Amino acid sequence: MQYITQAEKLFLLRTDETAYLLLINEYGHPEHLHYGTPVALADAAALRYKRTMPYGAEVLYAEDDPTYCLDNLPLEWSGIGKGDFRVSPIELELPDGSYTCDFVFQFAKLQPGARGAATLPGAYAEESADAETLVLTLKEKVFALQLELIYTVYPHENVITRSSVLHSQEASPVRIRRMMSQLLDLPNDGYRLVTLDGDWIQEAHRHDRALMPGCFVNESTTGNSSNRHNPGVMLAAPTACEDSGNVYGFNLIYSGNHYTAVELSPRNMVRIVSGINPLCFCWQLVQGETFETPEAVLTFSSHGFNGMSHNFHEFILHRILRGDWKAKDRPVLLNNWEAHFFDFTRRKLLRLARRAKKLGVELFVLDDGWFGARNSDHAGLGDYTVNRKKLRDGIEGLAQRINALGMQFGLWFEPESINTDSELYRNHPEYAMQLPGRTPALGRNQLLLNLANPAVRDYIVENVSSILDRANITYVKWDMNRHMSDMYSAVCPAGELYHRYILGLYEVLERIFRPRPHILLESCASGGNRFDLGMLCYSQQIWASDNTDPIERLKIQKGFSYFYPPVCMGAHVSQSPHQQTLRSTPLSTRFNVAAFGALGYELDLAELSPIEHRQIKEQISFYKQVRHTLQFGRFYRYQLPETNKDVFLAVAPDQSHAVLSFVQTLATAGDSNDVLRVKGLDANACYRLTAVPQKVSLARFGGLLKHIMPFTLRADGFILRTANRVHALPDGPFSLCTSGAALQSGVGLNDQFIGTGYHKDLRLWGDFGSQLYVVELEQEEEAE
């Protein structure tokens, strides 16, 4: 099927539910007509921006046309110096010393499938029929520069990607100071701008703001895509909510400094440009060379934020993820970090692993501290010699013992960094990124290795590959724990270093993991400091945050879910009180939040009570039954009137079952009854809704216990403390059978505890309480 049609320099790009319409106008400029709900080629004249009168302060492009001003047109690309004063997608220092550039249409080409980049990762189509690509070739009017604007349509994902490529045949070098991946001009519809912002341990918090005149920039300057501002950006109509209204989504397949500018012009037009951040960027393009930008990803939905998210999730699942793990259920893992930090031996690790195996864990992960003099974060990074005092049989011996227990084995690396107290630094200080004559700034007691240097890349590839090939390692956690500073390299100009570092990173990942597709790679950068589409081209999941407090994780995982599916989010159950917040939360809530991701545990199992061991074993057993739906199902967020409650929902593609997590942050006194609504089901089918069994500890009731006992016991006394280790009460049992229509309308839940008595069916949630609910299609004979 053809997804792109053209007629007389008019181009219509169609997906299953959207249309993108543009034309090459009479002056050779690509002019934007429409992006949104489906339209036809025949609608072009009606949709075109009308020019009937000049307006004040305009700069005319053509002397004989008083209405043609580039500053007053919706465009697909623009330059500098010809009358468009909005944010520009390109800034070139040309051989004549000027910055003025004017690219006009030369020819167009259609091709099946996706067009991959030579230097960057990108989206792909396994079959040529799965996508179609339009390439508009423009030529600079004066200089021998050719610009390609590339549009690839992924119809079933309702996504269009855009990128740009600049070719030079100029005898003198051209300096690129800014080159964006895409430009889009839209008529303003009172849009809200929605971004995901934060910091370490508070990643991806959603922020909404009204568009105001001027330019808002969502960017990263840390060298990574950053935990401060994720590359994903949304434009939402004023009334758009989770399930209805027009929402545009923009993202970038890039892991370095990104830049998205959203400008509301005086003529009430919204311009969106996105690409590599121009900060400290200057790329010299010589004759015969090409520079290509990362792919920008665009989508539109009239079904609200959830509709936009569904497009992005499908796109990532089918067009970004690669390797053997692309569509495979992620294993339940146990990471030893919070149990041991650096203080472990083989005996300690095997003791923890045996306990994990009894609970149903499938993958044991050894974190930091296994190499060199790595007994703290002050030494050892850059070295790959196994610490035989801790692991006398080496990594291969430990892996064999873990495998013998019936579990897979995984290993942590931090290959991009170096401690000055390391053998590598003593032998090759030039490998570190630092400025001659200056004392380098440390982050977490370390420097970055200069991945722009081919020798550094070879060193990382050789050493990591050697470890991976000596042992049966099926999972790697690739960490990167600091922002970039002291940007200097002897092998490339300063203006190219940020980008060449990322190109070097992609090369390293390509060389290590493409030949080893059996390895599940989890990217990490101090948590979600590099949670982006570029990394997902290599890593099938990303550690969402170092913060494992489930109440904080609600905001973090919800934020990331706007662009990234749950299967991509590493999510762990950890000890309580939590190491990041000192908040105490029930074990059930820790699981109920982490279950909406790639589930892991990160705690010392020896410190758990017998009742907690049983609960974790039950959690893992349940998760294995429903994990494909939790990881790959259609994910929904809820927009609740109560600010202290949140709901996550995953629905199987065939609508046969669903899993829902209902979480309460702070309890309110005398709370009203809750209504549970389940989206995405077959309205005419009959379903059974069941609360997943969970326990609430006796200690939850404190001094109330002495009022219901026939004799008085101290709430913190020996007897009740002992009882609390081996016994717990059922929490919120619930089951009913009803139609999908009723579940979508909303069914009432049992009361929460409000201090007036006890009933076996009460929801005993309190602060930070929650429950999982399973929805299963009833058999026809049972429904009748």
758: pLDDT confidence band, cut at 50, 70 and 90? confident
Same domain, 315 and 350: no
708: pLDDT confidence band, cut at 50, 70 and 90? low
Same domain, 606 and 723: no
**Residue 252 falls inside a structural domain:** yes
The stretch 484-497 carries a mean pLDDT of: 95
pLDDT at 404: 98
**Residue 93 falls inside a structural domain:** yes
**Residue 376 falls inside a structural domain:** yes
d(CA 363, CA 348): 16
**Positions of E strands within 59-131:** 90-93, 103-112
**CA dist 565 to 278, 441, 526, 570, Å?**
30, 36, 20, 11
Here the CATH number for the domain that contains residue 737 is 2.60.40.1180
The stretch 615-624 carries a mean pLDDT of: 98
Question: 409 with 399: CB under 8 angstroms?
Answer: yes
d(CA 694, CA 768): 14
pLDDT at 753: 85
**Residue 770 falls inside a structural domain:** yes
783: pLDDT confidence band, cut at 50, 70 and 90? very low
What are 257-304's pLDDT values in tens digits?
999 999 999 999 999 999 999 999 999 999 999 999 999 999 999 999
Q: Residues 6 or more apart from 442 whose CB is under 8 A from it?
A: none
CA 266 to chain centre: 34
d(CA 628, CA 625): 8
Q: Is the pLDDT of residue 515 over 90?
A: yes
SS3 call for 163: strand
Check if 84 is active-site. no
pLDDT at 41: 97
Mean per-residue pLDDT over the chain, rounded = 94
**Residue 637 falls inside a structural domain:** no
Q: Is the pLDDT of residue 779 over 70?
A: yes
Same domain, 653 and 596: no
d(CA 288, CA 370): 48
Check if 546 is active-site. yes
The stretch 611-628 carries a mean pLDDT of: 97
**Residue 35 falls inside a structural domain:** yes
Same domain, 145 and 247: yes
Sign of the dihedral defined by the CA atoms of residues 285, 168, 104, 77, in that order: negative
User: Which one from 102, 367, 383, 479 is the annotated catalytic residue?
Assistant: 479
pLDDT at 756: 77
Bridge-partner residues for 735, per DSSP? 690
Same domain, 113 and 260: yes
226: pLDDT confidence band, cut at 50, 70 and 90? very high
Q: Is the pLDDT of residue 705 over 90?
A: no
Same domain, 308 and 341: no
d(CA 699, CA 695): 12
Comparing 751 with 581, the larger pLDDT belongs to 581
**Residue 292 falls inside a structural domain:** yes
pLDDT at 710: 56
Q: Name the domain count of the chain.
A: 3
Identify the H or E element spanning 272.
Answer: strand 269-276
Among 266, 288, 319, give the residue marking a domain's end: 319
**Residue 342 falls inside a structural domain:** yes
724: pLDDT confidence band, cut at 50, 70 and 90? low
Comparing 710 with 732, the larger pLDDT belongs to 732
pLDDT at 233: 98
d(CA 407, CA 477): 17
pLDDT at 713: 61
Among 319, 343, 362, give the residue marking a domain's end: 319
What are 156-200's pLDDT values in tens digits?
999 999 999 999 999 999 999 999 999 999 999 999 999 999 999
Same domain, 521 and 415: yes
pLDDT at 598: 98
Among 601, 627, 653, give the residue marking a domain's end: 627
Same domain, 226 and 364: no
Residue recorded with tokens 């230097």:
119
d(CA 627, CA 571): 13
Query: Which range of residues forms the domain containing residue 754?
Result: 645-783
Q: What b/e sequence results for 690-708 when a residue is b if at least 16 CB atoms lie within 10 Å of its CB, and e otherwise?
A: bbbebbbbbebbeeebeee
Here the CATH number for the domain that contains residue 411 is 3.20.20.70
Indicate the pTM of the whole model: 0.96
Q: What is the four-CA torsion angle of 451, 457, 461, 467, rounded to 10 degrees?
A: -70
Same domain, 292 and 380: no
Same domain, 194 and 311: yes
The stretch 25-49 carries a mean pLDDT of: 97
User: Which one from 367, 546, 646, 731 is the annotated catalytic residue?
Assistant: 546
Same domain, 223 and 340: no
Same domain, 682 and 660: yes
Here the CATH number for the domain that contains residue 124 is 2.70.98.60
What are 412-466's pLDDT values in tens digits?
999 999 999 999 999 999 999 999 999 999 999 999 999 999 999 999 999 999 9
pLDDT at 709: 57
Least confident piece of the model among 280-284, 574-578, 717-721: 717-721
